[in-house]
A and B are shown apart, each in its own frame.
Chain A
């Protein structure tokens, strides 16, 4: 029996953006009923792993103009300037709210909130809580959300489909992971806040749950994924695991050194000029790869790395500002950064692209909203600046929550039997997948082939031939997915079934990334081509839209919203 529950709005994902959206919705309308569906428990969401900080103007030497320009320049002029303007203005308000809700921001001696330097930011505007900023923000938001009885949580429920009737979204269908049954959630608006899709790559900072679910849900219903070719490689991941070592290390003064012990960002011309270690992520990741290719990397038991040196910072400062970095290094690479340099290499970290939304978080499908890494509001353009994304979750999570609840109030209820028909069909599909016999393709096998192909074709540096190979490969894998073999037919907590559904989502997203990348014949931000090494504003100053159409991806374009800052050469 299909269970049906009804709320005013349904939020899919319980991380930073989803929790902020839920709180904003019940603040805007205390009578509103909000369903918060998470495939885990909200406090397990990947926001928890963010480390270095959240950006907002806080100091006398700073202003919105400076934060705006830094963000536009960091985006390689692909950010929409109206969105950026709104973001920088709201950022201090949102971080202040979080302070009122208990987030333990680190403090200056006078009791004001402390800020640190970050890559591509022209002054100290990154608020931090030591180096566990995502953890503290997530727990502050989650714990604050518990006071609202109108936010009804549905934990460990995996959304498999959006319910679209008469051209508008009417709810979602979800698998209850613990019970194994399906549930229809009716809602007059739906917000997708499921985070990114780093797990389409083999070497990533992302947790196991970052499988692009929200992107795939929207994409399947005809909503475009925007700017998917822009994948951020963070310069400093631990080799082996890919665990993030925060840019806050460099904000606190750490050096990047090559195998000769040189600060190569200064010694060699890698384009970051006087910014050195505080340059933007795309450029520093490329500099590291070039050092390795020039034979100036460091050999390690995990292959080539470079060194992130904190030894001059001192134990006391490391323990007060970067305690988790020390802990992570000791546990996962057996290095104590107080005394030795940390081995690091560039690692997939963040999707600049995502579900195409406007400044309100609204998609092209009436009633459907998205926020956070799932969405692409075009705040980040071709390269996100570190510490803008945690703030993005708050600013645009809140706005999506407010707009979704307003939309829901003005919308009439759906044709329930049509919704039920969709949910029944979806239940049958999931049930047949669970009970499937036969099949020849293993989940781990397809996943490994996807990983290899994405790393080869959509790495830090790209070329036409390898991108085209990855397009063919991801399409082939998506087709082979139909012959997936499942061995666990249990109903209760069937994690093989969840992994199968996640793999289906990842293959769609991976193909969208590869197709979008293969059609951008220029280098911009994180999309760096060896065969087209320069930016081409004449022909490519546009957003890529990737639509799911007749069983495959179809590309389209969308204008970039410029404003007071005209594109110029990006120099640091």
Chain B
């Protein structure tokens, strides 16, 4: 296949040297079969070794290479150059502090993830000798979609609430908390509802649906947030009617 030229306008920022982000252009020969990430790697290897970006699996599952491409959140290893024009703008994911160039700060997300207790909670731990839980294909199907999140952060970048309210738990963390609430093996629903009912949680969502539109794995976090809202209301309402044994 014959190559063609494209210009990449990349947002650069080195906190030790730059007062503000700047744009740098690279015109390179590209293979039309390339993804956006292939072009960035080519620039890094052959043109400008100082360009900083994260990547690893190049098969859309490790979640490292999320960036803004032509103004939209994109998983760059999945995003074909053929779908872009002769000039491609690449910038760090929106709504995150920038560490350097195309690398953003993820610590906030990891704190949020921990808040939703994304693990199986049971009143009594099951012993290995008891074997696996029985879980029907239908029960498995209940939460499966929400377990597909690769933590790529595209949804935070698209979310209008995150933009205004940085402490908002956000689509991925809520979807993952909700995923455990829907899992037949889990008994931690009530614990997580307390988190979901708190400030900056499910009720902050304005249901703009942007998160689900950009999700590269079709997790549909907007549906998770909406379902979590509903359950949080039910849980809150029933807490007045049904006393919870032993939980004070």
The chain A residues found within 8 Å of chain B, CB to CB, are 40-41, 43-46, 48-49, 93, 96-97, 99-102, 104-113, 132, 135-136, 139, 143-144, 146-147, 155, 178, 207-209, 240-241, 243-244, 301, 324, 327-328, 331-332, 443-444, 486-488, 490-496, 499
CB < 8 Å neighbour of A41 from B1, B52, B106, B132: B106
Residues of B within 8 A of A495 (CB): 44, 52-53
How far, in whole Å, are A146 and B121 apart by their CA atoms in the complex? 12
Residues of A within 8 A of B143 (CB): 104
Residues of B within 8 A of A327 (CB): 60
How far, in whole Å, are A135 and B57 apart by their CA atoms in the complex? 11
CB < 8 Å neighbour of A104 from B126, B140, B176: B140
Question: Is B244 part of the contact surface with A, judged by Cβ < 8 Å?
Answer: no
Residues of A within 8 A of B176 (CB): 143
Chain B interface residue count, CB cutoff 8 Å, equals 60
Residues of B57-114 whose CB lies within 8 A of A: 57-64, 78, 99-101, 103, 106, 110, 113-114
Residue of A whose beta carbon sits closest to that of B133: A99
How far, in whole Å, are A44 and B117 apart by their CA atoms in the complex? 20
Tell me the smallest distance from the CB of B195 to a CB of chain A, in Å: 14
How far, in whole Å, are A139 and B148 apart by their CA atoms in the complex? 10
State whether A110 and B134 are in contact (beta carbons under 8 Å apart), knowing that A41-B110, A104-B143, A493-B103 are contacts in the complex: yes
Residues of A within 8 A of B58 (CB): 207-208, 241, 243
Question: Is B131 part of the contact surface with A, judged by Cβ < 8 Å?
Answer: yes
Tell me the smallest distance from the CB of B30 to a CB of chain A, in Å: 14
Tell me the smallest distance from the CB of A494 to a CB of chain B, in Å: 7
Question: Is B180 part of the contact surface with A, judged by Cβ < 8 Å?
Answer: yes
Residues of A within 8 A of B46 (CB): 444
B120, A101: Cβ atoms closer than 8 Å:
yes
CB < 8 Å neighbour of B100 from A241, A487, A493: A493
**For the complex, would chain A's binding face be called helix, strand, loop or mixed by DSSP majority?**
loop
Residues of A within 8 A of B54 (CB): 40, 44
Residue of A whose beta carbon sits closest to that of B137: A107
Listed from nearest, the 9 A-B pairs whose CB atoms lie closest are A111-B134, A488-B50, A207-B56, A444-B45, A143-B118, A493-B100, A207-B57, A99-B132, A496-B49
State whether A135 and B50 are in contact (beta carbons under 8 Å apart), knowing that A49-B62, A100-B133 are contacts in the complex: no
The chain B residues found within 8 Å of chain A, CB to CB, are 1, 14-17, 33, 44-46, 49-50, 52-64, 78, 99-101, 103, 106, 110, 113-114, 117-120, 125-126, 128, 131-137, 139-140, 143-144, 147-148, 150-151, 176, 180, 183, 185-186
B150, A135: Cβ atoms closer than 8 Å:
yes
Tell me the smallest distance from the CB of B130 to a CB of chain A, in Å: 9
Residues of B within 8 A of A207 (CB): 56-58, 62
Residues of B within 8 A of A106 (CB): 140
A40, B132: Cβ atoms closer than 8 Å:
no
State whether A144 and B56 are in contact (beta carbons under 8 Å apart), knowing that A104-B140, A490-B100 are contacts in the complex: no
Known A-B contacts: A100-B132, A104-B143, A332-B59. Give 18 more (CB < 8 A). A41-B151, A44-B64, A97-B128, A102-B120, A104-B147, A108-B137, A132-B148, A146-B113, A147-B117, A207-B56, A244-B59, A328-B59, A486-B49, A492-B14, A492-B99, A492-B100, A493-B99, A495-B52
A240, B33: Cβ atoms closer than 8 Å:
yes
How far, in whole Å, are A44 and B65 apart by their CA atoms in the complex? 10
Residues of B within 8 A of A209 (CB): 56
B15, A102: Cβ atoms closer than 8 Å:
no
